[in-house]
Amino acid sequence: MFNVNRVTLLGNVTRDPEVRATKAGQPVSNIGFATNRAWKDQEGTLQREPEYHYLVCFGPLAAFAEKRVKKGVPLYVEGRLHTSHWESKKGTPASRTEVLVDRLVLLSSRKKSAVEAATADEE
């Protein structure tokens, strides 16, 4: 059977990336991210519904994010979903679905600026 686990998002960074290193010394970056759904209700009033995402970048992609990604920056993201499970401090099961990022493209609201991109296989 054929399976696909692919995510494509276009949205904005909600907070500056948090960067740390794995036990092996590989950089890891965690990025808060939001996408918005907009529609008009029956009265014609514009409604907005944000959806929040947790992005995780490894290696050179994490280093790129640390240097270039800031709160408020618009991004195009490609990756796959992964759900992490752990036991909370209270001893109860906890989980979070994350996007493991393969490609990150910085978009700019300025008309004449270049687009910057990084992929997981770049060094």
- Give me the CATH number covering residue 32: 2.40.50.140
CB 10 within 8 A of CB 75: yes
What's the pTM value of the predicted model, to 2 decimals? 0.82
Residue stretches of the chain with pLDDT short of 50: 112, 123
pLDDT at 79: 97
Give the torsion through C-alpha atoms of 72, 115, 122, 103, to 10 deg: 50
Task: Note whether residue 1 is domain-resident.
Answer: no
Q: The tokens 């099961």 sit on which residue?
A: 93
Q: How many domains does the chain have?
A: 1
pLDDT at 112: 46
Task: Note whether residue 106 is domain-resident.
Answer: yes
- How far apart are alpha carbons 58 and 19 in whole angstroms? 10
pLDDT at 56: 97
Task: Note whether residue 115 is domain-resident.
Answer: yes
- How far apart are alpha carbons 39 and 60 in whole angstroms? 38
Task: Note whether residue 94 is domain-resident.
Answer: yes
Q: Which residues contact 95 (CB under 8 A, 6 or more apart)?
A: 83, 84, 85, 86
Task: Note whether residue 40 is domain-resident.
Answer: yes
pLDDT at 88: 92
Tokens found for residue 84: 């992490």
